[in-house]
């Protein structure tokens, strides 16, 4: 069992944006301790019931952090190793886990070994560090060689992860991160294009370094078991559920979300062994959920669904205040600086109370963390499922319609059981003798029903 486990609740910070760092590194300035700004957020984050923080890229890079220049130094736009160490120590003092971004598929053109290649060409001692290197043609930048790039972006140079020296360099960086920052996990950027051999060797290395170190891969499409399994990663980003959360609401089509949850976690589901799949409703790469939803009344409902679904919920910084943002070319608008005090005073949408309540329920109601999944009812605008764990049961019932909905849930075997809504304890209902629980669900909202013994 890793320190990241089924009880974990994440808050996702993008430090280069949140700390208002310059968008481009000059590699000459003295480090500026902008990471100190993140200390101001910790009371707020912890008040949301969060117990794990995922930090976007923090190591020396050229622009957005995913174009690494040095895996062993903190980006000077954010501060120093000691600044990050102080932040990590404060998280440990608060009992919070820390996950860092590991960008291992590619580096930036300012990566020290690539600069050596630019300077020395075929004589460079590092020419074998890069994938697809050819000296019989030029790159789009006019270099006297070409190379593989991530998704056609030639500012992101693909590493040759089969090269022993490259692996030693990357694994050595992980050892340094563990020693200096006592990390609890790594989120592998672009895991969907990483070598499977590399990921297996990475898992074996991390198992020796720290058997509890959690590895989570960024994967959008495909069978997540190819990446997450006992030989490679512990989990992946659950983009299938991410899409289902908001499009089921936008399209009045809970069948989509029910299909995904059933396929993943229902009886005989594909991902029953993947206990720590990473769920989210927005992140640094996609439009903010407030902008994605067509009906603002569904904003609370989408968080309710995410918190109650199998997997680990994650809140992206600023979205608890309903911050808006549509995906654009450079994505900086999705990763902006925030003045926390101003947000706390003036935010037009404030989900802090709801998110804190959902976090509390998730910790108190064990089926929400540990339970299985069973569909009870699905229609265009109503959806209900049960989660069982250790003799306890939680029933999640949601209604995306503009009017209250009357639903009958089939609960054979639970005749005469009494259920209370954990979100509104004034609501109580009993399973009748025919094995049905009749309930009213408010418009654009839901119920989390737990059994109470009379």
pLDDT in tens, 7-18: 999 999 999 999
Residue 156's CATH number: 3.90.400
The predicted-structure confidence for 38-62, as pLDDT tens digits, reads as follows: 999 999 999 999 999 999 999 999 9
pLDDT at 407 over 60: yes
Q: Cα separation of 369 and 353, whole Å?
A: 20
2 band by pLDDT with thresholds 50, 70 and 90: low
* pLDDT grade for 133, boundaries at 50, 70 and 90: very high
The reply to whether 134 and 169 lie within a common domain is no
Same domain? For 184 and 311 the reply is: yes
Identify whether residues 396 and 348 lie together within a single domain.
no
Assess whether 42 and 119 both reside in one domain: no
Residues 310 and 434 grouped into a single domain? no
pLDDT of residue 119: 98
Regarding whether 333 and 262 lie in a shared domain, the answer is yes
Environment class of 415 (CB within 10 Å of its CB; exposed 0-12, middle 13-18, buried 19+): middle
Q: Span 255-260, mean pLDDT?
A: 98
Angle in degrees, 0-180, between the axes of helices 239-250 and 299-308, rounded to the nearest 10: 140
- 46 and 139 together in one domain: no
Range of the domain at 406: 371-452
* Model pLDDT, residue 454: 46
Reply yes or no on whether the pLDDT at 92 is more than 50.
Answer: yes
Please give the pLDDT value at position 453.
Answer: 53
Report the C-alpha gap between 162 and 169 in whole angstroms: 12
Calpha distance 400→374 (Å, rounded): 20
Residue for token pair 């340094």: 176
Rg (CA), the chain: 23
Could you tell me if 54 and 201 lie in one domain?
A: yes
Query: Which CATH number covers residue 77?
Result: 3.20.20.80
Residue 292 lies in a domain: yes
Q: Say whether both 152 and 225 belong to one domain.
A: no
* Total domains in the fold of the chain: 3
Whether residue 383 is contained in a domain is answered as yes
| Cα distance between residue 288 and residue 283, in whole Å | 7
Which of 346, 364, 382 is where one domain is finished? 364
Is there a domain that residue 2 lies in? no
% residues pLDDT > 90 (the chain): 96
Cα–Cα distance measured from residue 267 to residue 257, given in angstroms and rounded to the nearest whole number: 16
Dump pLDDT digits (tens) for 347-382: 889 999 999 999 999 999 999 999 999 999 999 999
The SS3 assignment for 303 reads helix
User: What pTM was computed for the model?
Assistant: 0.97
Instruction: Kindly state whether residues 273 and 292 are assigned to the same domain.
Output: yes
**Residues 91 and 146 occupy one common structural domain:** no
How far from the centroid of its chain's Cα atoms is residue 188's Cα? 11
* 5 part of a folded domain: no
Domain end point (choices 337, 364, 391)? 364
Under DSSP, is residue 447 helix (H, G, I), strand (E, B) or coil? strand
Is 377 found in the same domain as 352?
Answer: no
- The answer to whether residue 275 is domain-embedded is yes
What pLDDT sits at residue 375?
98
The DSSP line for 335-404 is S----HHHHHHH-SS--HHHHHHHHHHHHHSHHHHH---EEEEE-SSEEEEEEEETTEEEEEEEE-SSS-
User: What six digits make up the tokens of 451?
Assistant: 């059994």
Mean pLDDT within 61-70: 98
Q: Which of 345, 364, 383 is the last residue of a domain?
A: 364
Q: What is the CATH number of the domain that holds 422?
A: 2.60.40.1180
pLDDT at 348: 82
Average of per-residue pLDDT across 276-283: 98
Q: Does residue 83 sit within a domain?
A: yes
pLDDT of residue 252: 98
The answer as to whether 4 is a domain residue is: no
Dihedral sign of CA atoms 139, 141, 145, 147 in order: negative
Q: What is the pLDDT of residues 424-440, one digit of tens each?
A: 999 999 999 999 999 99
Whether 49 maps to a domain, the answer reads: yes
Cα(1)–Cα(373) distance, integer angstroms: 21
Are the C-beta atoms of residues 70 and 60 closer than 8 Å to each other?
Answer: yes
Per-residue pLDDT, averaged over 91-98, amounts to 98
């Amino acid at each position: 069992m890793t320190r990241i486990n089924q009880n974990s609740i994440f808050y996702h910070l993008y430090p280069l944006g949140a700390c208002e760092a310059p968008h481009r590194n000059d590699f000459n300035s003295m480090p500026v301790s902008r990471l100190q700004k993140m200390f101001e957020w910790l009371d707020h984050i912890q008040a949301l019931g969060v117990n794990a923080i995922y930090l976007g890229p923090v190591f020396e890079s050229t622009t957005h952090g995913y174009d690494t220049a040095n895996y062993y130094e903190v980006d000077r736009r954010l501060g120093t190793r000691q600044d990050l160490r102080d932040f990590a120590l404060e998280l440990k003092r608060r009992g919070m886990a820390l996950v860092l971004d590991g960008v291992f598929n590619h580096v930036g053109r300012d990566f020290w070994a690539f600069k050596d290649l630019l300077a020395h060409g075929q004589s460079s001692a590092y020419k074998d560090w890069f994938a697809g290197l050819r000296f019989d043609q030029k790159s789009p930048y006019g270099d006297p060689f070409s190379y593989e790039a991530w998704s056609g972006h030639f500012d992101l140079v693909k590493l040759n992860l089969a090269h022993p020296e490259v692996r030693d360099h990357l694994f050595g960086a992980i050892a340094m991160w563990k020693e200096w920052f006592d990390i609890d996990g790594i989120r592998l950027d672009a895991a969907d294009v990483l070598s499977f051999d590399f990921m297996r060797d990475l898992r074996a290395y991390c198992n020796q370094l720290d058997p509890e170190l959690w590895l989570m891969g960024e994967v959008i499409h495909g069978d997540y078991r190819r990446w997450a399994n006992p030989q490679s990663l512990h989990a992946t980003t659950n983009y299938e559920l991410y899409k289902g959360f908001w499009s089921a609401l936008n399209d009045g089509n809970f069948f989509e979300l029910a299909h995904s949850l059933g396929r993943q976690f229902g009886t005989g589901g594909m991902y029953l062994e993947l206990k720590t799949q990473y769920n989210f409703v927005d992140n640094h790469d996609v439009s903010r959920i407030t902008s994605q939803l067509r009906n603002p009344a569904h904003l609370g409902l989408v968080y309710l669904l995410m918190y109650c679904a199998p997997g680990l919920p994650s809140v992206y910084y600023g979205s608890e205040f309903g911050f808006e943002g549509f995906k654009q070319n450079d994505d900086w608008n999705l990763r902006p600086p925030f003045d926390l005090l101003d947000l706390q005073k003036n935010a037009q949408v404030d989900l802090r109370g709801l998110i804190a309540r959902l976090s509390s329920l998730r910790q108190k109601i064990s089926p929400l963390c540990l339970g299985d999944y069973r569909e009870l009812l699905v229609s265009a605008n109503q959806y209900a499922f049960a989660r069982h764990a250790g003799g306890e049961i939680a029933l999640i019932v949601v209604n995306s319609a503009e009017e209250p909905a009357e639903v009958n849930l089939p609960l054979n075997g639970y005749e005469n059981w009494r259920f209370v809504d954990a979100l509104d304890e004034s609501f109580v209902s009993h399973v009748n003798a025919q094995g049905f629980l009749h309930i009213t669900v408010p418009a654009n909202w839901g119920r989390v029903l737990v059994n109470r013994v009379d």
